[in-house]
């Protein structure tokens, strides 16, 4: 059994509560796809991508948080292994949703810069965790 540090336990609790926000995003998405909220095809696709990334990355982020406790990593490396995916779980959905906001938008706005930033945190987090787990 993995013993959680106080920081990991607190982080996991906060992240678990974010599922309610993801759920409300799902309700918004239902309103979009049923036509109750007007949206372009571009916006619908970005809203779907944002919602999907939020749910998957929060789940993966909780797994990484737990698995990071089983590594010998410390300092910034441990932080990156345990929370890199959780940072991506904020940046990627925000990039999808924010870059699609605005009436009649058919192309992303400047918030699209969050997508490569989030992808970078995702990759860095899982690679650091993987190396940390393999090293023991």
Are residues 119 and 90 in contact, defined by beta-carbon separation less than 8 angstroms?
A: no
pLDDT of residue 12: 93
Q: Assess whether pLDDT exceeds 80 at residue 42.
A: yes
* Global confidence as pTM: 0.93
Q: How far apart are CA 49 and CA 84, in angstroms?
A: 19
Q: Assess whether pLDDT exceeds 80 at residue 2.
A: no
pLDDT of residue 3: 80
Domain count, the chain: 1
Q: Could you report the per-residue pLDDT of 52-88, keeping only the tens digit for each?
A: 999 999 999 999 999 999 999 999 999 999 999 999 9
Q: How far apart are CA 125 and CA 13, in angstroms?
A: 20
HSE-CB at 67 with a 13 A cutoff on CA atoms is: 23
Average pLDDT for 22-32: 93
Q: By residue range, what is the domain housing residue 52?
A: 6-135
Task: Tell me if 116 is assigned to some domain.
Answer: yes
Q: Could you report the per-residue pLDDT of 111-122, keeping only the tens digit for each?
A: 999 999 999 999
What is the average pLDDT score of the chain?
A: 95
Q: How far apart are CA 88 and CA 5, in angstroms?
A: 22
Q: How far apart are CA 131 and CA 108, in angstroms?
A: 35
pLDDT of residue 4: 86
């Amino acid at each position: 059994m993995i013993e959680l540090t106080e920081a990991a336990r607190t982080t996991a609790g906060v992240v678990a509560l974010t599922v309610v926000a993801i759920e409300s995003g799902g309700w918004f998405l239902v309103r979009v796809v049923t036509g109750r909220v007007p949206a372009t095809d571009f916006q619908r696709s970005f809203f779907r991508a944002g919602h999907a990334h939020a749910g998957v990355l929060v789940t993966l982020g909780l797994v990484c948080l737990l698995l990071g406790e089983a590594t010998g990593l410390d300092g910034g490396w441990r932080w990156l292994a345990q929370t890199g995916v959780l940072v991506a779980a904020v940046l990627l959905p925000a990039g999808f949703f924010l870059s699609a906001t605005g009436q009649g938008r058919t192309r992303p706005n400047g918030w699209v810069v969050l997508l490569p930033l989030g992808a970078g945190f995702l990759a860095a987090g899982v690679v650091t965790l993987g190396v940390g787990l393999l090293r023991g």
